[in-house]
Amino acid sequence: MNDRLSQTLLRFDHYNGTDPNLFSWQGETCPQELFLAQKLHEWVMKLAPDASEPLVLASRCQHIGRWEIARKSYPEGRIGYLTWRKALARHHAEIAQGILRDTGYPQDVIDRVTAIVMKQGIKQDADVQTMENALCLVFLQYQYEAFHPAHGEKIVDILKKSLLKMDAAGHKWALTLPYSPAGMAHIEKALAA
């Protein structure tokens, strides 16, 4: 890993380390977006050991500053949710662009990281698809078991949407993760649908 890449990843981590929301996993607690960004990076590297530098960079800034735009600042419902998600993607990209400029990356790398963060070309761009697989795997590994009990039968629809975003490689990895019996039952229903 070159010095500029290391320095930039540290800058992303420092920014995410200011997340006031905490995440606990196996007895450890840390800022939520710092934890999730590091786990996303781990999944990207597992899925694509020879990942391009822009993909490596994007893996640590995909949701940078996520806590700064609250979901409740947008209307309830699907349109409000999608509007919030689009605003978040632009927010993540803008923060990342500033840090990438500060650490001396050329515009073509900044543009490529932005395209990955904004998920431009999902299902057509290999880097964007790797990122989508990794995002879904982070959710399934670290958040799903706490999430599904509160969502009843809606969880099957949520899982179907996530599984549709993944490709066959992502599905293969998803089926290797440990789930509770109830969690696995929801996944099986989503796969069968």
Q: What mean pLDDT comes out for the span 159-176? A: 90
Q: How confident is the model at residue 87 (pLDDT cuts 50, 70, 90)?
A: very high
Q: Is residue 191 over pLDDT 90?
A: no
Q: Is residue 8 over pLDDT 90?
A: yes
Q: Which of 191, 171, 174, 178 is nearest to 145 (CA)?
A: 178
User: 22 phi and psi, to 5 degrees?
Assistant: -105, 150
pLDDT in tens, 31-67: 999 999 999 999 999 999 999 999 999 999 999 999 9
pTM of the complete model = 0.93
Please state, in angstroms and as integers, the Cα–Cα distance from residue 175 to each residue in 2, 59, 91, 160, 170, following that order. 34, 22, 32, 14, 9
Q: How far apart are CA 5 and CA 155, in angstroms?
A: 38
3-state secondary structure 102-167: HCCCCHHHHHHHHHHHCCCCCCCCHHHHHHHHHHHHHHHHHHHHHHHHHCCCHHHHHHHHHHHHCC
Q: How confident is the model at residue 152 (pLDDT cuts 50, 70, 90)?
A: confident
